[in-house]
Amino acid sequence: MNPRLLILPIFFLSGFTGLLYEIVWTRQLALLFGVSSLAVSTVLTVFMGGLGLGSLLAGKAIDKRKSPLLIYAALELGIGVYALFLPYGISLLTPFYLFFHPFLGDNFTLISLVRFLFSTLLLLVPCSLMGATFPVISRFFVRGEDSIGKDAGVLYSLNTLGAVCGCLFTGFYLVENLGISGSIHLAAGLNLALAMASFALSWLAPEQARLTEQSAGKKEAERKEAQGKADIRPVLFFFGLSGFTALALEVLWTRIFIILIDNTVYAFTTILFSFLAGIAAGSFCLSRMDLKKNRLVSTFGKMQAGIGLCGLWTLVLFLAHNEAAGFWNAASFKILGGAGGEFWAGKIFASFLFIFSLLIVPTFLMGGTFPVVFRICSPAFSSAGRSLGLIYSVNTAGAILGSFCAGFVLLPMLGTQKAVILLSTLSCLSGIYLLGMSKGASRYSLKALTGVGVPYIISAAFLFYQGDIPKRISQQKLDLGNETLFFQEGATGTVLVSSQENDLTPFRKPIKRIWINGDPIAGTFREALQLEWLQAHLPLLLHPDPQETVVICFGTGATAGAIAQHPVKEILAVDTSNGVFQAARYFTEGNSGVSNDPRFKALVEDGRQFLAATSRKFDFITSEPPPPSNAGIVNLYSREYYEICKSRLKPGGMVSQWIPLHHLAPEDFRSLVAAFVSVFPRSSMWYTKWDAVMVGLDREISIDYPLLKRRMEEGKVRKSLEEIGFDDPGRLLASFMMGEEGLARYVQGARVVTDDRPTVEFTAPRIHHIGTKIKGENLRGLLKYREPVLPLVKNVAEEERAGFEEKLAVAAASQLRFYEGRLEENDDKLGNAVARFKEALAMGPSFSDARLAFLKIHIGLAYHFLKEGKASAGLKVVGECMEADAGGAFRPQLFNVKGLLHLSLREFQAAAREFHEALALDKNFPGPYMNLGALYAEYLNDPEKAAGYYRQCLGLKITEREIRVVEEELKKLSVF
């Protein structure tokens, strides 16, 4: 067998390990520097810079060596050994980094320089060794100048294909099953095996180096002649520019894709896999094509122009993502069978098909530029190694700048759409220039300008006509009828604030939500505020004297706003996104305008990194990150994170942590709780909505009843607690789920989430399709270990004890009935749910959670009877709701549905009366106006009066769908 061919699987596996290291080292250093975009970008810049530097230096040196395979074996050995010791290097340098960080303050430049310095110290050596492998292996594999493009292209494509497989295998299997350290050990073992194989191959093929050297000597005269005829500097410049545009476009495309598909670790893996697969395919195909030498520059120009035009067309195609996603979901279903439509594998595969279909052409062209440029530039150098090393390093340098500028310059300043247009313009202009400088063409020839310029102008004009496409894409993902109040594309994410009128909220209050990268993070609906406020109120009511507080992950600011109701001295909020702080002004009903509180300070930083680096200590730390299924978030749920939190507490300090029950399998939920309990064994769990609030402290929990009662009666705190249903100590204490002993039993045998084994980040996305149902299973599991809170309550006065204990027992019993009702509702057993909620209300008539749950189900039942034509049964349900709605929270909605029920019975005057009753209570309620319009148009034959009601409806804040409906009705009346 030809010894040259034996090197191909070796270089394939080298690409596999290289991508594996990039993924796991980025994760490791993110634990030190944080997961902010700048921190991650710094690590990747050093990683890619090392690749470029190693390629450049090795390219210059390798042609002087006679045994490239021995050198290659030494490189693989060095990479493997260094990888094994890198974790120890990180541990060694971490104390120094944490020591210097407090002295840097908020100085952006100094923090960036220090991160760059420490990243360089850690990664420059192994990454340079990786970069050196390409020119060194090319020195062995390339047969001569005539075949340099083909041979180098084959090597590059094969190495990239290895990276594709490394990306896929690491992202879908290795880290989940082997952990970070296990993955590193596997990669290091492969490096050592590759070193041994290369060493053995050097003995089998000693003549190969001499053949390449002889070939180089024969071509020396021709090479000198070529140097005199061709100036390759413009080609190298545009090759560097192609690296710039390629990586910048990847960053921008990724931002859009993450909005369209779920923001999970699998999404990032799928995007990177699709990108690399296209590059590998393009490099391989172009390396096998027999291109004429006088057409190489024009081919490079056409590819650059093609990349630019594809950059514009991908934006156009993004507009049709709903249709495309539907098509590929159907294709996935056909390919994978039933799994394609039901399970995560089908969804991931459909995402891949969708992404790959959009990126295959531009990434194919990007990959194809490598073998073409190798052929153009190699004749101008005295050796293959030097030429390939320089060419590769130039493209890598461009890629480094592109990645950084896209995230931190172009995106914040221009937004995704304008940035893509700018990059596409650069690529098209470079293509035109290269076509102009190619043999036989005059610079800026009419043919080049026409062939590229005309489709460019048409595409750009269409995009400008379409408006802000990323904003439109974000809006399309929202619930029907949402109004966008705020939209910002920043370096760390895309932030959007939506508002939606909702007939099933108390007093028809609009629901506002904040979305980050397409994921709903928090909102103003009652259940969300109950969780966020309780997470702050509980610890602050129990702490003897809380003064300095910190909020990790700001969201809407509701938790910080709840803290502000207490007499604390400082409220420090830390979040990676500046956009969430700017969006806080839209959530004042939930955060009490905390941004204007003199005690409040916002810090744009990674929360975990801030706690690890600061020397300060706090009385209270609260953490409310996105769900652990989101990419990069599990680090805020790990045992090591809680250890950092514990180290930053003052004596007697407390930590509260949100853990959701939804979208988590029971074992995953238990593992998250186990991580918290492993650091705070004296913990307690409190329950609200479908979420658990963990409260940890360094001592046995003790609830001072007189202190709790006094603090709950303070003006601002009392008002805040009453708004979320905790109107007395008994009701608040009834939300207690379990304490130290119950938690110890609950987590027994559960695996603990750690930085090294972030398993839940990989398992949670797989059950996303049943996430809202599986929360019931988690609640049932918790209820098995529910404990009474009474033994923890201290200092109850004797004259109060009997009454307090009775009241607490009733509150706990009604709370249990409420939980049971929730479970029945989650299982779609609405009749049973109503019965449980009734029982809860009978025990505690002021139990607002049970009352609201009862009313929501009954209003829905009334509409169901209306649809089924059972108006009499519907009116009976409405009557029960009227009786239960003591506070009038749903009275306008009830009058409206009552009017519809009378209308279905053809009781027109009664229907009109009920609609007017609804408007008397809420004049901005569009439903009654629309119903009155229909009543007078269709039943009472009074088109003018009907038109009047419809016009009044158009003057209200209604959805686009409702506007279309009203306009159609007005057209029917011939008055629009």
Return the amino acid letter for 229: K
| pLDDT tops 60 at residue 229 | no
Alpha carbon distance 123, 22 (integer Å): 10
pLDDT value at residue 64: 67
Q: Would you tell me the crossing angle of helices 3-33 and 148-169 to the nearest 10 degrees? A: 50
848-972 homologous superfamily: Tetratricopeptide repeat domain (1.25.40.10)
User: Residues 479-496: what's their mean pLDDT?
Assistant: 80
- Joined tokens for residue 938: 């269709």
- Percent of the chain at pLDDT exceeding 90: 45
For residue 19, the SS3 value is helix
Q: Which residues contact 291 (CB under 8 A, 6 or more apart)?
A: 149, 299, 372, 375
H/E run at residue 745: helix 740-746
| pLDDT tops 70 at residue 206 | no
- Joined tokens for residue 829: 């057993």
Q: What is the pLDDT of residues 778-816, one digit of tens each?
A: 999 999 999 999 999 999 999 999 999 999 999 999 999
Top pLDDT among 292 and 837 is at 837
| pLDDT tops 80 at residue 644 | yes
> CA dist 312 to 309, 468, 908, Å?
5, 13, 57
pLDDT category of residue 149 using cuts at 50, 70 and 90: low
In the β-sheet with 519-523, what is the strand arrangement from edge to edge? 483-489, 494-500, 511-516, 519-523
pLDDT category of residue 123 using cuts at 50, 70 and 90: confident
Alpha carbon distance 498, 488 (integer Å): 12
User: Residues 773-782: what's their mean pLDDT?
Assistant: 92
Q: What is the pLDDT of residues 285-313, one digit of tens each?
A: 988 887 777 788 888 989 999 999 999 88
| pLDDT tops 80 at residue 449 | no
| pLDDT tops 60 at residue 225 | no
pLDDT value at residue 221: 44
Alpha carbon distance 898, 174 (integer Å): 59
Give the residue from 264, 350, 325 showing the smallest Cα distance to 476.
Answer: 325
pLDDT category of residue 341 using cuts at 50, 70 and 90: very low
Phi and psi at residue 573, to the nearest 5° = -110, 130
Are 628 and 672 in contact, with CB atoms under 8 Å apart?
yes
Q: How many angstroms separate the most distant Cα atoms in the chain?
A: 108
Give the residue from 606, 309, 567, 604 showing the smallest Cα distance to 428.
Answer: 309
Give the CA angle between residues 122, 127, 128 to the nearest 5°.
110
DSSP count for the chain of H helices, then E strands: 40, 14
Give the CA angle between residues 5, 9, 13 to the nearest 5°.
155
For residue 750, the SS3 value is coil
Domains 1-218 and 520-765+783-795 share a fold: no
Delimit the domains of the chain by residue range.
Answer: 1-218, 231-473, 474-514, 520-765+783-795, 848-972
Alpha carbon distance 976, 960 (integer Å): 17
| pLDDT tops 60 at residue 150 | yes
Give the residue from 527, 777, 775 showing the smallest Cα distance to 660.
Answer: 775
Return the amino acid letter for 934: A
Alpha helices for 552-690 (secondary structure H) = 558-563, 578-583, 588-591, 607-613, 639-647, 666-679
User: Residues 545-568: what's their mean pLDDT?
Assistant: 96
- Percent of the chain at pLDDT exceeding 70: 89
Question: Which fold does the domain 231-473 belong to in CATH?
Answer: Growth Hormone; Chain: A; (1.20.1250)
| pLDDT tops 90 at residue 458 | no
pLDDT category of residue 141 using cuts at 50, 70 and 90: confident
User: Residues 43-64: what's their mean pLDDT?
Assistant: 80
Q: What is the CA radius of gyration of the chain?
A: 32
User: Residues 650-675: what's their mean pLDDT?
Assistant: 94
- Joined tokens for residue 433: 């220039």
Alpha carbon distance 760, 671 (integer Å): 8
For residue 1, the SS3 value is coil
Alpha carbon distance 435, 298 (integer Å): 5
Are 492 and 36 in contact, with CB atoms under 8 Å apart?
yes
Burial (CB count <10 Å: 0-12, 13-18, 19+), residue 446: exposed
Instruction: Mark residue 348 as left, alpha or beta (left: phi above 0; alpha: psi -120 to 50; beta: remaining).
Output: alpha
User: Residues 884-906: what's their mean pLDDT?
Assistant: 89
Are 435 and 448 in contact, with CB atoms under 8 Å apart?
yes
pLDDT value at residue 214: 47
| pLDDT tops 60 at residue 215 | no
User: Residues 756-765: what's their mean pLDDT?
Assistant: 91
pLDDT value at residue 228: 40
pLDDT value at residue 104: 72
Alpha carbon distance 256, 260 (integer Å): 7
pLDDT value at residue 817: 96
| pLDDT tops 80 at residue 224 | no
> What CATH number was assigned to the domain covering residues 1-218?
1.20.1250
Question: Mean of the per-residue pLDDT values for the chain?
Answer: 86
Which class does domain 520-765+783-795 fall in? alpha beta
